[in-house]
Amino acid sequence: MNTYLLISLGLLLSCGTVKNTGTTAMDQQLLKDVEILSSDSYEGRKTNTKGAEMARVYLADRLKSIGLTPFPQLAGYEQPFSFKNGNKGLINGKNMIGYIEGKSDQVIVISAHYDHIGIINNQIYNGADDNASGVAALLKFAAYYKDHKPNHTLIFAAFDAEEMGLQGSKAFVANPPVKLDKIIMNINMDMISHNDKGELYACGTFKYPSLKNYFYTTNPKLKVLFGHDDPKLGHNDWTNQSDHSAFNDKNIPFIYFGVEDHKDYHKASDEYQNINKTFFIDASNSILEIINNIDKERDIQQLFREKLQMKKQ
């Protein structure tokens, strides 16, 4: 068995911090995935490092155990790509991609980046919130939809090299495993586990306001807020600040779920013990409800009328 996988499985078996305190088995797995991916053994998951390779081994094992179908044109779940990174030359990255076939061939891409920024000045930047949290939620949603057949075909994409300029998502839209015009939406998650006020932001409705109709959830404790997507906000406009940007550049509608910056953002203190576990579980459950609301929509032309109008202009 691969050494990286042995370490991953050992971490999984030794995770004693996730107790059965009323959470579901899926939520316990959600927390385990974050704890493992943000452990020191993964060395901050920087692109083109041993830690990134360990993360891919772990993700491949999880995707296979869930039962996601790999695309035949890829090497298992891996989509390799390369990019230039200034004077550092050519960098190699790999996205991790699988899918669940729906009743329709129209595709929703559910995404999160698995890379982080590695080791800086001998400190490991483990990136629990950024973005082991989004990847863990992606795995949870994949497991859910494997048991609940969706109306739309769902691609689950864990992107590499987001921290180096959204390179993984750019590579994906440049060479998608399905025809680009089949992709009707991207739902992206980047930092969804660390907020002390119970606030999760959803951006994308400024450009596609009809999406607001699908933001009803059964969790009164979590506040899902719209915003951070008006171009007039400057740096506080998140439209181009994570992997959904690559889809937006192709006029593919998107929703980006994330929290505002916190004290541990891009610091070595972004550790598993510092995420808000109850908030994270609530956030993942609410995002799943919203995805379900959208997936139930069969009239795609009505749902994305803004997209269609844009094409006509």
Q: What CATH number corresponds to the domain at position 106?
A: 3.40.630.10
pLDDT value, residue 19 = 37
pLDDT value, residue 173 = 98
Specify the pairing of strand 118-120 against strand 123-125. antiparallel
Backbone angles phi, psi at 294, to 5 degrees: -70, -45
pLDDT value, residue 297 = 87
Backbone angles phi, psi at 300, to 5 degrees: -65, -35
pLDDT value, residue 16 = 37
Report d(CA 163, CA 306) in Å as an integer.
Answer: 30
Q: Which of 158-167, 178-187, 233-242 has the lowest mean pLDDT?
A: 233-242
Arithmetic mean of pLDDT, 26-40: 98
| Residues 263-312 pLDDT 10s | 999 999 999 999 999 999 999 999 999 999 999 987 654 556 544 454 44
Residue 241 makes CB contacts below 8 A (sequence gap 6+) with: none
Helix (H) or strand (E) holding 109: strand 104-113
From 195, 190, 216, select the one nearest 280 (Cα to Cα): 195
| Residues 209-249 pLDDT 10s | 989 989 988 888 899 999 999 888 888 888 999 999 999 99
Can you give the residue range of the structural domain that contains 145?
3-312
User: What amino acid is encoded at 238 in this protein?
Assistant: W
| Residues 184-215 pLDDT 10s | 999 999 999 999 999 999 999 999 998 998 99
Predicted TM-score (pTM) of this structure: 0.90
pLDDT value, residue 38 = 98
pLDDT at 181 over 90: yes
pLDDT value, residue 1 = 41
| Residues 86-137 pLDDT 10s | 777 899 999 999 999 999 999 999 999 999 999 999 999 999 999 999 999 9
- Written as six digits, the tokens of 212 are 């607001």
Q: In total, how many domains does the chain have?
A: 1
pLDDT at 32 over 60: yes
pLDDT value, residue 2 = 44
Helix (H) or strand (E) holding 206: none
Arithmetic mean of pLDDT, 16-41: 81
| Residues 3-26 pLDDT 10s | 444 444 444 433 433 333 347 999
Is there a contact between 136 and 157 (Cβ–Cβ < 8 Å)?
Answer: no
